[in-house]
Amino acid sequence: MKEKRVLRIIENMQKHNLKQMIVTSPAAIFYLTGKWIEPGERLLALYINVEGDKRLFINELFPIDKDEDLDLIIYNDVQDPINIMRDFINRDQILGIDKNWPSHFLIKFMENNIAPGYVNSSPIVDRVRMIKDEEEIALMRENSKINDRVMSKLVALIAKDYDEKKICGILSELYEEEGASGFSFHPLIAYGKNAAEPHHDSDKSRLSTGDSVILDIGGRKDNYCSDMTRTVFYKELSDEAKNIYNIVLEANLEAIDKVKPGARFCDIDRAARGLIENHGYGKYFTHRTGHNIGIEVHDFGDVSAVNEDIVQPGMIFSIEPGIYLPNKLGVRIEDLVLVTEQGVEVLNSYTKKLQVIE
């Protein structure tokens, strides 16, 4: 068990007057136990109460080392784990449950009156996970360095006339070469007019002279994620494309400059969005400025116009403004940033200088 993390969860439970909860998200269970388990359709649940009791309910198909700080309640495929769990839950107290727990488990809990009521307790865990500890920060720094090296290799491949999908396949090999275990999300490789789709699904498209090329990539190592976007141009660069690139770069830098303890996420978004709007491209910046990241590529929290949460040391999130002209071109520049006691540390070092690939 990651005891310091568990204690932070219990402290947050007490603040919200919640005495017991079950954690079912594999990412959250990994955060608290150091054990990654994908249960498929089977029940996996970590029970925690404010007295410090911790029990992991797990199918025998998923062997797990005994942990002296964690009681294992093991069931098999002919047993009903819900009936087993009911004996360990205080039936007089509200029970917190993850927001994404399959409904068939929750409905059975409700039908059996296992607790007098249920609340979504994911924010209790999510808000603790927003503040990375030193172990997590070290892993995120390392993963971002890997992503920098992969991006450098990737940009060198652009001139080789591979289609988007082929580049994605090669990218998998690059992450393996650098010691990552795979993608943290499906990479976005977009040429020309495809780059005007912020979530383009890479296809067989090939490069044409003057194309903007969006490279949005991230790898996973030690169950933590990286994420970065760079935009380059193929052989030629129009004046319009150059202007848009410089605006997006300025927006990226302006937003990063606003990152510090005490700032609000919405103000960081406003720094990027306001600059792009002032240049007349506001309607072409169609997504939020960023998202939190860690064990999941989209951890809880985002850099958006409606998020008034205060930025705190230990948070890690993306800064990724973009401009997308439909059927023409797109530009996005993304870095991961770590909030420090003094201000901000940019985790990515791969160049943001405008590049035209010959």
Pairing of strands 71-75, 54-59: parallel
**Sheet harboring 118-120: ordered strands across?**
71-75, 54-59, 45-49, 20-23, 95-97, 118-120
3-state secondary structure of 323: strand
- In the numeric block, which tokens belong to residue 56? 């992991």
State the pTM of this model: 0.97
**DSSP class of 24:** -
Cα–Cα dist 335/174, whole Å: 20
**What does the pLDDT read at residue 336?**
99
Class of domain 134-357: alpha beta
Domain ranges, ordered by start, for the chain: 3-129, 134-357
Full pLDDT tens readout for the chain, 358 residues: 999 999 999 999 999 999 999 999 999 999 999 999 999 999 999 999 999 999 999 999 998 887 778 899 999 999 999 999 999 999 999 999 999 999 999 999 999 999 999 999 999 999 999 999 999 999 999 999 999 999 999 999 998 989 999 999 999 999 999 999 999 999 999 999 999 999 999 999 999 999 999 999 999 999 999 999 999 999 999 999 999 999 999 999 999 999 999 999 999 999 999 999 999 999 999 999 999 999 999 999 999 999 999 999 999 999 999 999 999 999 999 999 999 999 999 999 999 999 999 9
Contact predicate 75/98, CB 8 Å: no
Q: Which tokens is 32 given?
A: 């608290």
Residues 6+ apart with CB under 8 A from 123: 300
Question: What is the reported pLDDT for 63?
Answer: 82
Distance (Å, rounded) from C-alpha 86 to C-alpha 101?
17
C-alpha dist (Å) from residue 120 to 162, 222, 292: 46, 28, 20
User: Does the domain formed by 3-129 have CATH 1.20.150.20?
Assistant: no
Predicted local confidence at residue 69, as pLDDT: 81
Report d(CA 193, CA 243) in Å as an integer: 17
pLDDT of residue 84: 97
